[in-house]
Amino acid sequence: MSELNSIDTVVIGAGHSGCEAARLIAFKGYRTLLLTINLDAIALVSGNPLLDVSGANLKMMERIGITERPAGIVESSMMVIDRREYFICMKERMENVKNLRVRQAEATSIIEKNGIILIKTRLGDQYRAKAVVICAGTFLKARCIYDGYETPGGRHGEIASDDLCRSLEDMGFEFEERDVSSSPVVRIAGELKKKCEQIEIKYSYRHTNSKTTPIYCYLYKLDDNYSLLFVPLGVGNIEYYVSDNYYKNIPLDVFNKYIKKLEDKSLIMLTRPPYKVKYQVLKNKCFCGINREKSVHESIFFAGAVCGSTGILQSIMDGINAGMDAVNYIKSRENKSNGK
């Protein structure tokens, strides 16, 4: 793809769903442009790096190649993604896919005229495409809340996609507000580690050699009903994501009580406070059919958190499905133009 004004598909957003949608469309031979507001946050693991990969999920991950990316096996049913290494690996992959170009830009508006999509960016660039896949994640009119303080933007200071959301609303798409919350990220004291069950992670890496350094999750039993799992954010990182879903979900008030107790005893030190992000999700009535074919604009597709998906695996599968829908749409247009 030598010219950016000669594009088949634009994918907006380079999170987990956007990356998979863009890769699939490009692999099918269509010229694809992936727009992201930050090239240093491609496929960023923003929350819990622990994945449930039991049963069909593991086969799905093997099929799409995620097990070849920087990840570590905890048990047969669990996998941990190294946050930093996963980004490095995915950025390298995305920038070396044939027919795919990755560009840092904020998409602010979409216009559809005579079967052609026009995407405009904050800096005034314009791209024409036959289809667009919107993977805006949790950033449509995003508002991040830390300890009651609310500010525009995402959980790590990303730009809120307010203009893009308004543009989609002007096109007839309807949205509703939803929110997502995180657990705190902490450092844990050696004294606490001694009280925990150690669960070794076996990582495989392309960029770093961690074979000689054992990495552990730490399982801390609270009582007969609940346990906390401290999941490392990666090799060489002394921060741990506090996960409450290893065995059973802990009620929020119980979870907060135990976190405060551990903090008061200096067994943990908070490094990244928990947050809540409010954002816009597409209403179901904008879709029709099991493949989410659009009842508003047939050339515009959605995937990931903007559809209400949660978690890395679901976002990945959403991206693959939306990418396939976009490919099928372009093929149908080509067949019509060729009289087939």
Summarize pLDDT for 142-180 with one digit per residue, the tens.
999 988 789 998 887 889 999 999 999 999 899 999 999
Task: Tell me what the pLDDT averaged over the chain comes to.
Answer: 86
Q: Whole-angstrom distance between the N-terminal and C-terminal Cα of the chain?
A: 26
Per DSSP, the three-state class of 191 is helix
Q: What is the pLDDT of residues 9-62, one digit of tens each?
A: 999 999 999 999 999 999 999 999 999 999 999 999 888 888 877 655 667 777
Q: What is the pLDDT of residues 232-289, one digit of tens each?
A: 998 888 999 998 755 557 888 888 899 999 999 999 999 998 999 999 999 876 654 4
336 to each of 324, 330, 331, 333, 339, how far by Cα in Å? Answer: 18, 10, 9, 5, 5
Please report the pLDDT score of residue 323 as a whole number: 95
Give the mean model confidence (pLDDT) for residues 86-100.
92
Contact 8, 32 (CB under 8 A): yes
Q: Give the integer Cα–Cα distance in Å for 139 and 152.
A: 10
Neighbours of 2 (CB within 10 A): 6
Q: Which CATH number fits domain 9-48+81-182+279-337: 3.40.50.300, 3.40.50.1820, 1.10.10.10, 3.50.50.60?
A: 3.50.50.60
Q: Give the predicted TM-score (pTM) of the model.
A: 0.90
CA triplet 6, 9, 15: central angle to 5 degrees?
Answer: 130
- Token readout for 308 is 């209400």
Contact 172, 296 (CB under 8 A): yes
- Token readout for 5 is 């004004």
37 to each of 34, 41, 93, 154, 318, how far by Cα in Å? Answer: 10, 8, 18, 11, 20
Domain boundaries, the chain: 9-48+81-182+279-337, 185-272
Buried b (16+ CB within 10 A) or exposed e, 56-69: ebbeebeebebeeb
Q: Give the integer Cα–Cα distance in Å for 180 and 141.
A: 14
